[in-house]
Amino acid sequence: MASPRRARLRFALFALAAVIVGVSHPLIEPALWIADRRISSNLLNVFDRTVEPVAILVLALPLGVLIDRARRRSVLVVSALLGAALTAVAAAGALGAPTWPLLLATIPASGVLASVTVVAQDAYLPSVVRRARLLPANALLTLLPCVVVVPMTLTGTIWQGPEFLFAAGLALAAAAALFRGVSAAERPSPPRAGLWREAAEGIRFTARHPALRAIALYLLLSSLLFELRDEVTDEARATAFFGLSATPIEYPWRLAIASAYGPVVVGALLAVLLHRRLGAFRLAWWALLVSAPFTLLLALSGPGAERIWYVLGSGVPATGAVIATVALLSHRQAVTPNRLLGRTGGLLLLLTTVAGEAGELLEGPAGRLADLGGAAPPALATAAALAAAVPLLWARRSTVGDAAGSDDDDATDDGDQTSPDRAAGWPTSAIARAVRRAGPPLAVLALPATLPATDLAYGRITTLDQCAPRYGDAARVPTGERAFICWARSGGRFATVSDRDLLAYGRAMCEVYPGPHADEALIAPICPPAAARFQAAIDAEEAEYRAQEAANQKACDRSRHRPLIRPVRVARKRTWTDYGVLESFEYDENTPSDPFDDGLLDTAQDDDLVAAVPGHLIILSHSDYDICVTTETYRTRPPVEVKGWHRVVEIGYQSPAGHIELMDPMGGESLPNLAFRGKGHYRIRVHYRQPDWEAGTPQHLLIMVFPGEGDRVVEHHRSR
């Protein structure tokens, strides 16, 4: 038997190598995506999402057989060296070497190697440490990677580029050397009976062993239902940390990171502290049953102090899952014969991969369920977690004395073979037995006990930037829940009220409609009686608007100007302005870049009708009334007409570009080009008739344009 010092050194080398490999592969994968820009991201996504799972499905069982046949230390050494070689290829591709086909194959190969390494490590660990020390060893191997990952996450450090890939390759090579230095005695492999016969033996043993069968079913169900819990947790995180920049150094994001990595630390420590009193298998289902109901607290997640509910609702169940993972792995290693450890591990890898890929199909429905908010999604996620633990409950009585069937002399399971009370020196009593038996039912009863608290849930908050702009018919009342939410949040209202509570508020207001406290315009999208009245008001307003438009057009048609001489061109248009300005501006090398620089608007306002400088013309009117505009162009000076007009003013204008196109500077269509002779000097005579102020009829403009020089302003008529 090895001395305790040699045993500690052996495990230290194994643990250091395992941590290097366990940290390197997850960090390498994102770096591989950007290692060679010549490969499209779509092609990389196909290889990462398709080739890797298919490769694991095909190779899991054969590799499990290989791990049981070969020396497991050699498998770990070779897999680490292959990972180093693949990483070196990726680094060379990042530096521009013509290795992109190899780089394309590196991404799925790296994932397969990571999975093989995990199976081989789990099969080799019982040879490195005594089986009585398996659970503390697995807990430490679970905990150590956080020492590397958490500081990087908290500081926002991103490791990528060829330098990082080369460093990762060297780290994997160092891990291979460390694995090579682990001097653990391994039992000789059994005689070979053929690849598929040996694989079938591992499947039969797993299916017939009560504990292993329960573990396989638990892993299958938890992988299949993972997307549901993941979507619910993501939705709660979005609600709790909405509006924060994703900067890891900020306190709220440190809280989110703590809820992600804290369960690994706490779960590993609790597993070590509790496994001797409860036993590994019992500890697993106890942890799942006690922690799962805390998922309901996700419904209470919200900004500010309510973030603590997200931390508890996500952290406690994750802690229970970590405890169960460590305990079940240790129990599996303890009860499985050494010669079958690789095959059982390969089978479990196959099952979880199949369940994980099948669970991807639930991502869409789970996301839509999580978007509903409230208590239903966390309650369903809790029920799913409890359902996954059912196989462990069924097998709990079959785990006593499991390790006795192992083919190893030092096989123990830290208390599952005998009563936990006796193993820990506890006095066996009726009270202790009652507590142990009542624990699971009490844990399950915690589910309905916590449901009333979820009435205060925040749930999803749809923000204004998530509301699509409304391009539909503005004369129709929008309908539907999303239309109500977006309309209610306009102007910054109800910013901190969840969609669920806002809808409840709107529906409650609809029930008392048309009471004095019911806002008809607010609740119209989800309240048919309010929508009907609101639509009637819109229709009446629209009818009044159309009638006014028709009356204005008739007024323009009745007052058409009849020229005294033949014009070159006549154009008529009914228009309006935002600020009572019709403006034409022409650019050339002699004009300022900004029409406001020449002060022409001030000049026009002094004259109260028209003003011009070379390249810039302004005609004023009243902004609250439509304008019946008539433009006429002449080759010779037309006779002066003042009858029926309130003002008639004539000015000179120089057109530097041959484009006199009057329009509202705030937008809208321009009038036809009045510079019919192109560039040059023109005289512009503007006739203006006021609207009927009481009847609201349009105002009138008649604009005559004809050739002529001179800048003199002539006021032909002004009404007194």
| Residue that has been written with the tokens 């037309």 in this structure | 638
CA distance 216 to 212: 6
Residues 164 and 205 in one domain: no
Residues 142 and 220 in one domain: no
Residues 33 and 165 in one domain: yes
Residue 471: predicted pLDDT: 47
Mean pLDDT of 180-191: 80
Mean pLDDT of 452-461: 54
pLDDT confidence tier of residue 631, bands split at 50, 70 and 90: very high
- Give me the CATH number covering residue 9: 1.20.1250
pLDDT confidence tier of residue 246, bands split at 50, 70 and 90: very low
3-state class (DSSP) for residue 662: coil
Mean pLDDT of 237-265: 61
Query: What contacts 181, CB < 8 A, 6 or more positions away?
Result: 13
- Give me the CATH number covering residue 684: 2.60.34.30
- Give me the CATH number covering residue 274: 1.20.1250.20
Residues 377 and 255 in one domain: yes
Residues 178 and 232 in one domain: no
Comparing 304 with 176, the larger pLDDT belongs to: 176
Strand pairing of 581-585 and 616-620? antiparallel
Residue 255: predicted pLDDT: 56
Residues 126 and 200 in one domain: no
**Per-residue tokens: 638:** 């037309």
Residues 176 and 199 in one domain: no
549, pLDDT greater than 80:
yes
Half-sphere exposure of 305 (CA within 13 A, CB side): 0
- Give the pLDDT confidence of 13-62 residue by residue, as tens digits: 998 988 888 888 777 766 665 555 555 555 566 666 777 788 888 888 99
Residue 669: predicted pLDDT: 79
Which domain, by its residues, includes 623? 562-718
3-state class (DSSP) for residue 157: coil
Mean pLDDT of 548-567: 89
Give the type of residue at 13.
L
Residues 52 and 175 in one domain: yes
Comparing 671 with 423, the larger pLDDT belongs to: 671
Q: Look up residue 590 and give its DSSP letter.
A: T
CA distance 381 to 262: 21
* Residue 624: alpha-carbon gap to chain centroid: 48
Question: Which of 538, 558, 578 delimits the end of a domain?
Answer: 558
Sheet holding 616-620, edge to edge: 581-585, 616-620, 610-613
- Give the pLDDT confidence of 124-182 residue by residue, as tens digits: 999 899 888 899 999 999 888 877 766 655 555 555 556 667 777 888 889 899 988 88
Comparing 518 with 523, the larger pLDDT belongs to: 523
Residues 439 and 572 in one domain: no
Question: Which of 528, 558, 588 delimits the end of a domain?
Answer: 558
Residue 593: predicted pLDDT: 56
Residue 100: predicted pLDDT: 58
411, pLDDT greater than 70:
no
pLDDT confidence tier of residue 473, bands split at 50, 70 and 90: low
* C-alpha torsion sign, points 153, 155, 161, 163: negative
pLDDT confidence tier of residue 8, bands split at 50, 70 and 90: confident
Q: Quick check: 682 and 695 in contact, CB under 8 A? A: no
CA distance 314 to 263: 9
Residue 90: predicted pLDDT: 67
Give the chain's end-to-end CA distance (angstroms, integer).
123
Q: Quick check: 33 and 155 in contact, CB under 8 A? A: no
pLDDT confidence tier of residue 437, bands split at 50, 70 and 90: low
CA distance 209 to 334: 13
| Residue that has been written with the tokens 């204008």 in this structure | 653
Residue 158: predicted pLDDT: 52
Mean pLDDT of 530-546: 84
Residues 362 and 282 in one domain: yes
Question: Which of 504, 523, 558 delimits the end of a domain?
Answer: 558
Residue 32: predicted pLDDT: 62
515, pLDDT greater than 90:
no
Mean pLDDT of 642-671: 88
216, pLDDT greater than 60:
yes
Of the candidates 469, 459, 542, which has an alpha carbon nearest to the alpha carbon of residue 503? 459
| Residue that has been written with the tokens 């409950």 in this structure | 393
Residue 241: predicted pLDDT: 66
Residues 180 and 91 in one domain: yes
CA distance 366 to 381: 10
516, pLDDT greater than 70:
no
Q: Tell me the C-alpha to C-alpha distance, in Å, between residue 278 and each of 126, 160, 282, 328.
A: 21, 44, 6, 13
Q: Look up residue 468 and give its DSSP letter.
A: P
Looking at the 3D structure of the chain, how many domains does it have? Answer: 4
Residue 104: predicted pLDDT: 66
Mean pLDDT value across the chain: 79
* Percent of the chain predicted with pLDDT > 70: 76
Mean pLDDT of 251-258: 54
Residues 412 and 549 in one domain: no
